[in-house]
Amino acid sequence: MAYELPALPYDYTALEPVISKKTLEFHHDKHHAAYVNNYNSAVKGTEFENKSIEEVIKAVAGDSSKTAIFNNGAQAWNHTFYWNCMKPNGGGTPSGALADKINADFGSFDKFVEEFKTAGATQFGSGWAWLVLDNGTLKVTKTPNADNPIVAGQVPLLTMDVWEHAYYLDYQNRRPDYINEFISKLINWDFVAQNFAAAS
């Protein structure tokens, strides 16, 4: 049961001018597709072939003999999750139970934004910034390379890709500009709220 590359949840031009059509084409059709293909090749004929990708990521995490399976599987999962964390005319602020929880756990929405920006900006090299639910508490975290909070028992609610291929065609080395635009104009708070409701 091969893992399939999901289509983007919007058109290639839908996130312009924040993220260009060219970036989405390269990022989804080349980078994400390669992770999916490499993952399928790595698990073919193994005990993992018919397991869900989440099960496999958790099972092989930390096993140096299964690094290729983990890196490609986690990157395939991370990217699918990332696409859904964005929407055209996104950003703004969350509402309802999620907003209340952010205020309770961070002190204010602005404090959350500050922590999320810092996580993205200070992730050295390639990686991800995350909003997670960790034992009932919202936290901002960051992971290097393909790493994913699910292997630490956390529930991902939101992610931002800070690998250079996510923003370099549009922002070059200006990662903080990409981060600001992502937060203010792209975050799909409906998706984040659904994840929070499902995990609560």
Q: Within a domain: residue 69?
A: yes
pTM: 0.95
pLDDT in tens, 89-103: 999 999 999 999 999
Mean pLDDT value across the chain? 96
- The total of structural domains in the chain comes to 2
Segment 142-154, tens digit of pLDDT: 999 999 999 999 9
Encoded tokens for 171: 């922002």
Residue 174 in any domain: the answer is yes
Digit-coded pLDDT (tens) for 46-73: 999 999 999 999 999 999 999 999 999 9
CB 196 within 8 A of CB 157: yes
- pLDDT tier at 2, thresholds 50, 70, 90: confident
Tell me which residue range forms the domain holding 44: 21-84
**According to the annotation, is 32 in a ligand binding site?**
no
Please report, for the domain that includes residue 125, its CATH number.
3.55.40.20
Residues 175 and 115 in one domain: yes
Residue 37 belongs to a domain = yes
Q: Is 27 annotated as a binding residue?
A: yes
Give the model's pLDDT for residue 9: 97
Task: Report the C-alpha gap between 48 and 52 in whole angstroms.
Answer: 8
